[in-house]
């Protein structure tokens, strides 16, 4: 079981902003997950993986793929109070769910460093 957060790599934002955006994605997707899945994920340690895509176009490609599944997801739009213009799409939270299901969609992406 895991959760994957996909962050846009083309945004010039601070590490703190990245942390905040990935937290929004994690919580948003978590809230949409089935209770049985959440309990299993939490028992297994609540694994989270943060990866990146090059740009908004690639993020939307993944977004369209994930919408066609039963995996919970949450697309994050920034409120525009600090570093980004309002409604900037920053990242996508996926899961928690079974590793294999999520890997079919996110397995190709590199870790965010």
pLDDT band at residue 42 under the 50/70/90 scheme: very high
Class of domain 2-111: alpha beta
User: For the segment 67-108, what is each residue's pLDDT rounded down to a tens digit?
Assistant: 999 999 999 999 999 999 999 999 999 999 999 999 999 999
Structure pTM? 0.95
Q: Which residues contact 40 (CB under 8 A, 6 or more apart)?
A: 1
Mean per-residue pLDDT over the chain, rounded: 97
Neighbours of 77 (CB within 10 A): 14
pLDDT of 75: 98
Query: Domain map of the chain by residue range?
Result: 2-111
């Amino acid at each position: 079981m895991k959760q994957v957060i996909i962050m846009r790599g083309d945004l010039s934002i601070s590490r703190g902003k990245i942390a905040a955006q990935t937290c929004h994605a994690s919580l948003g997707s978590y809230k949409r997950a089935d209770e049985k899945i959440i309990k299993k994920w939490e028992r297994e340690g609540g694994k989270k993986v943060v990866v990146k895509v090059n740009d908004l176009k690639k993020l939307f490609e993944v977004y369209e793929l994930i919408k066609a599944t039963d995996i919970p997801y949450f697309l994050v739009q920034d409120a525009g109070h600090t570093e980004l213009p309002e409604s900037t799409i920053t990242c996508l939270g996926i899961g928690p769910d079974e590793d294999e299901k999520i890997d079919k969609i996110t397995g190709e992406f590199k870790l965010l460093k």
